[in-house]
Amino acid sequence: MAATMKDLSRETGLGLATISKYFNGGTVREKNRVLIEAAVKKLHYVPNEVARSLKTQHSRVIGVIIPELSNAFITSIISSMEDILRKHDYAVIVCDCRSDPKREKDAVEFLLHRRVDGLINMATDTTGAHLKAPLASGIPVLLIDRLIESLRGKVSAVIIDNVHAASQAVEKLTGLGHRQIGLVLGSPNLYTTNQRLTGYLNALNEAGIKPTEEYIRYGDYTMDGGYQAVQDLLKLKNHPTALFVTNFEMTLGAMLALQHNGVRVPEDLSVIGFDKLELFGEIFPNLTLIRQPQLSIGRESANLMLNMLSNEESGCRIVTLTTELTEGSSVRPLKK
């Protein structure tokens, strides 16, 4: 059906090696170059990456396994990652495992069959069992956003300093005199959830505040979860005077809950949100936010992967990116 290099060879009278060299940037006599290019056009030749993959033992495919595609943080990482990888002629196969370890393991296997050159994983399985096989087969594995303790030293990772991010936010609030600080976390037992909780507790401790269990809520990293969490917090007889919400969707939900309840920000309650400032645009222009550098996470991940792919020498590396506190006007000193 489709033309092959053999066809080009026949058409031009040149040997296969010459044609191949032409495509791989080797030096080819000018008149042969012209000849080849004419034949390519005439026969509508399209290189066959599959055949090349078989021969070179490199598929130029990176497998990406994520817990959920319907999450703004994740999709923006994927976009910026894919951008760079594709520029380097790597394709990305994305597998959404719906936060299901079983599906995650299946995805790993699926990708291994396809001989992906590398694996990027925002892990659901906190034990890391699903990564045994790829690690054994020697392909580079890169964790993003979530570390897996048992894999320390065996894989590279790109994460943010979650502890710092959370304590920075909470310190901001304690600095303004707040002592009753609500925290809306993601799903229990996730790496990021735990780390952000640690940062929160550290900051409270630093300020000599004993944590109140009721003030700590889990919003599942969803808009609805954030909404619910804040609804619940507001129902407390002695409710928080300040609030820290730990992802974009939950921040949105939280703001909606506050509006629904007629709670003014920051007059009645101080709020620090999270992520994706640009999407808020004009909507909450003055929200104080912790911003994760999602574009950088994607970029770093892609580059680190490309690095692992080319330099066999390099050991594992953990890149920790820092967050930024963007000052808005959604926080104010506690009224005494």
Applying CB under 7 A, what is the total number of residues that bind DNA?
A: 29
Dihedral of the alpha carbons of 273, 278, 283, 285, in degrees to the nearest 10: 70
Taking the C-alpha atoms of residue 196 and residue 246, their distance in angstroms, rounded to an integer, is 8
Q: Which does 13 bind (CB under 5 to 8 A by kind): a copy of itself, DNA, none?
A: DNA
Choose between 4 and 307: whose C-beta lies nearer to DNA: 4
Choose between 27 and 238: whose C-beta lies nearer to DNA: 27
Q: Which residues bind to a copy of itself, rule: CB under 8 A?
A: 1-2, 44, 46-51, 53-54, 57, 59, 61, 69-70, 72, 75-76, 78-79, 82-83, 86, 89, 91-96, 98, 107, 110, 112-115, 136-138, 222-224, 227-228, 231, 252-253, 256-257, 259-260, 279-283
Phi, psi of 290 (to 5 degrees): -95, 120
Q: Are 226 and 219 in contact (CB under 8 A)?
A: yes
The secondary structure of 107-137 as a DSSP string is: HHHHHHHTT-SEEEE--S-TT-GGGHHHHHH
Q: Which does 29 bind (CB under 5 to 8 A by kind): a copy of itself, DNA, none?
A: DNA
Q: How far is the CB of 164 from a copy of itself (least distance, A)?
A: 26
Taking the C-alpha atoms of residue 62 and residue 60, their distance in angstroms, rounded to an integer, is 7
Q: Which does 38 bind (CB under 5 to 8 A by kind): a copy of itself, DNA, none?
A: none
Q: How far is the CB of 313 from DNA (least distance, A)?
A: 20
Taking CA 69 as the corner, what is the angle to CA 114 and CA 166, rounded to the nearest 5 degrees? 120
Choose between 5 and 304: whose C-beta lies nearer to DNA: 5
Choose between 26 and 333: whose C-beta lies nearer to DNA: 26
Q: Which stretch binds DNA (CB under 7 A): 3-11, 254-262, 299-307, 315-323?
A: 3-11
Give start and end residues of each alpha helix (H) in 127-247: 132-137, 162-175, 191-206, 223-235
Taking the C-alpha atoms of residue 132 and residue 137, their distance in angstroms, rounded to an integer, is 9
Cis ω before 266 (30° cut-off from 0): yes
Choose between 21 and 179: whose C-beta lies nearer to DNA: 21
β-strand partners of 245: 184
Q: Are 177 and 332 in contact (CB under 8 A)?
A: no
Choose between 35 and 148: whose C-beta lies nearer to DNA: 35
Q: How far is the CB of 42 from DNA (least distance, A)?
A: 15
Q: How far is the CB of 69 from a copy of itself (least distance, A)?
A: 5
Taking the C-alpha atoms of residue 166 and residue 288, their distance in angstroms, rounded to an integer, is 13
Residues 9-68 that bind DNA (CB under 7 A): 13-21, 23-24, 26-29, 32, 47-48, 51-52, 54-57
Q: Which does 259 bind (CB under 5 to 8 A by kind): a copy of itself, DNA, none?
A: a copy of itself
Choose between 214 and 232: whose C-beta lies nearer to a copy of itself: 232
Q: Are 274 and 248 in contact (CB under 8 A)?
A: yes
Question: 283 CB contacts (<8 Å, ≥6 apart)?
Answer: none
Q: How far is the CB of 283 from a copy of itself (least distance, A)?
A: 5
Choose between 116 and 233: whose C-beta lies nearer to DNA: 116
Phi, psi of 84 (to 5 degrees): -70, -45
Query: What residues make contact with DNA under the rule CB under 7 A?
Result: 1-2, 4-6, 13-21, 23-24, 26-29, 32, 47-48, 51-52, 54-57
